[in-house]
Structure 1
């Protein structure tokens, strides 16, 4: 299967007419028909239903189209980024992050690095485990996560420890209090993320487990926004890092815990034994200022 097969398929799926599709592709209809037939043979499924009334996508064809569009979009993005790098002589710098760190200082780092004319930034939302894999594969240069990973090729630095808070439905019986974990354990919980694991969900479960507490998990979600939506709907409560408080959502109230020493780290992951280049030195300098500001209370 070649990329031209996917491009031909996309145009035919958009037109649902071989004559119009061939005209868009600047080719005659018989070769296009052969290409689509070859694609169906290789995939092993009929992608189009053909009748006197015209063409329609089969369920298999609709599924294949959705993934084809994603592939072609990623390819177009890669080509455009490559051309931009070559045109402006920029150096690529990849950052991986877990969602809960993007509501604090990380956007400041991104903003300052983007101001540099010689840097092309790429951002990837990845769990800490995925960040370690991406670092080792060279897909990113630095990662920001929550989970401690023991890997000989990666070094992790604790930037600071962040207090945990509870997100609860507005009007919850514990609203306006500073609850303990024992009090929270009496109520249903929503966990985030559901997968892949291990993740923040396992850290939260461990906080209860170490205190001999067991919680009822009524729902799990992969996205932070989905989790907050479930909480706003009254499904349950959850523990989140303090930075998430910046993410305001109708129907959700954030409350401090009784014990402000219940914290979670923000970890910076880099490749071990790799001499920092100019961009990494710039990133490290920005991080030092950000961490000092955080520790001194100049911003949350």
Structure 2
């Protein structure tokens, strides 16, 4: 089982791609650092680096681990920093749940406006729409941004806008530069996300094919959007993503608009129906109404 110290050590080596520089950053000597990396590779049963006289390079497995480890470490560091700020300034905490695919356009605008108020501490938590509903009812978050309609008597959901879906393709794919139909996409291995919990965005995507009686070849299901894009870049298959994901500049991937531009996904704002009308919630309602009207 990997611990946070091992992940931090690995990330430093992955960023430096040089054992001497990595050891210097970690305030240790090179031999024990090399042993730590070798031990991690043995525990995982996979090589993480390719070693050559010119230095190190990440293997595909190493690149995948780095992306996942960096996200995890960032979450841990951000959580600790938030707690320290809350204690220092004694400001109220606003929990915001979000699916990753809404964080490339509209959500950052809301976060920026709330931060400018400097009256509350924000805690951003990545979670599926189903998890958001559960967290709202349990009081773990205050508002959520997702893509699914969930019927619950305690939760109010507001459609903010519709967003076209795009096909994410490996660079050089035969459909690159075209406007593919669902039938053309179904001829390719399909990567879905998230794998769980269900229902999820994966079911939404499958529904577009099933309603047209189109069979799909699901080759992989993963919980993370970034992992799905990584699998696409590796040539394992294709996936469908909301339009704002185009803002992610990632090598090895091209995006194609679909022939049917009515194939869309919603961005949905969720909150508790019984939420008290505090000044903070009134401010959020004002901001959300403004963005909704746009």
Specify if TM > 0.5. yes
Q: Which residue of 2 aligns with 1:100?
A: 101
Residues 96 and 144, structure 1, Cα contact 8 Å, conserved in 2:
yes
Q: Which residue of 1 aligns with 2:256?
A: 255
SS of the residue aligned with 2:283?
helix
Residues 82 and 123, structure 2, Cα contact 8 Å, conserved in 1:
no
SS of the residue aligned with 2:153?
coil
The CA distance in 2 between the partners of 1:150 and 1:120, in whole Å, is 30
- Residues 209-244 of structure 1 deviation map (CA, whole Å, 9 limit, x = unaligned): 001111001112211111111111111111111111
Structure 1 residues 87 and 188: alpha-carbon distance in aligned structure 2, compared to 1, 3 A threshold: closer
Q: Which residue of 2 aligns with 1:142?
A: 143
The CA distance in 1 between the partners of 2:228 and 2:262, in whole Å, is 24
The CA distance in 2 between the partners of 1:82 and 1:250, in whole Å, is 36
Structure 1 residues 267 and 235: alpha-carbon distance in aligned structure 2, compared to 1, 3 A threshold: same
Cα shift at 1:285: 1.6
| Mapping 1:72-151, distance limit 5 Å | 81=82, 84-85=85-86, 87-151=88-152
Cα shift at 1:82: 5.4
The CA distance in 2 between the partners of 1:154 and 1:227, in whole Å, is 30
The CA distance in 2 between the partners of 1:218 and 1:277, in whole Å, is 47
Q: Which residue of 1 aligns with 2:246?
A: 245
The CA distance in 2 between the partners of 1:117 and 1:240, in whole Å, is 33
Structure 1 residues 252 and 116: alpha-carbon distance in aligned structure 2, compared to 1, 3 A threshold: same
Unaligned runs of 5+ in 2: 5-42, 44-71
Residues 88 and 118, structure 1, Cα contact 8 Å, conserved in 2:
no
- Residues 170-223 of structure 1 deviation map (CA, whole Å, 9 limit, x = unaligned): 111111111111111111111111222221111000110001111001112211
User: Which segment drifts farther, 218-227 or 282-291?
Assistant: 282-291
Q: Which residue of 2 aligns with 1:211?
A: 212
The CA distance in 1 between the partners of 2:167 and 2:243, in whole Å, is 9
Q: Which residue of 2 aligns with 1:157?
A: 158
Residues 94 and 139, structure 1, Cα contact 8 Å, conserved in 2:
yes
Cα shift at 1:143: 0.1
Structure 1 residues 190 and 83: alpha-carbon distance in aligned structure 2, compared to 1, 3 A threshold: closer
Cα shift at 1:120: 0.8
The CA distance in 1 between the partners of 2:174 and 2:79, in whole Å, is 49
TM-score by length of 2: 0.71
Structure 1 residues 83 and 164: alpha-carbon distance in aligned structure 2, compared to 1, 3 A threshold: closer
Please give the root-mean-square deviation of Cα atoms over the aligned residues, in Å. 2.7
TM-score by length of 1: 0.70
Cα shift at 1:282: 1.3
Residues 190 and 227, structure 1, Cα contact 8 Å, conserved in 2:
yes
Cα shift at 1:86: 5.0
- Residues 101-148 of structure 1 deviation map (CA, whole Å, 9 limit, x = unaligned): 001110111111112222011110010011001101111110000111
Structure 1 residues 175 and 282: alpha-carbon distance in aligned structure 2, compared to 1, 3 A threshold: same
Q: Which residue of 1 aligns with 2:37?
A: none
Q: Which residue of 2 aligns with 1:6?
A: none
Q: Which residue of 1 aligns with 2:167?
A: 166
Q: Which residue of 1 aligns with 2:235?
A: 234
Unaligned runs of 5+ in 1: 1-9, 11-61, 63-69, 294-300
Q: Which residue of 2 aligns with 1:193?
A: 194
- Residues 263-282 of structure 1 deviation map (CA, whole Å, 9 limit, x = unaligned): 11101000013233111111
User: Which segment drifts farther, 278-287 or 171-180?
Assistant: 278-287
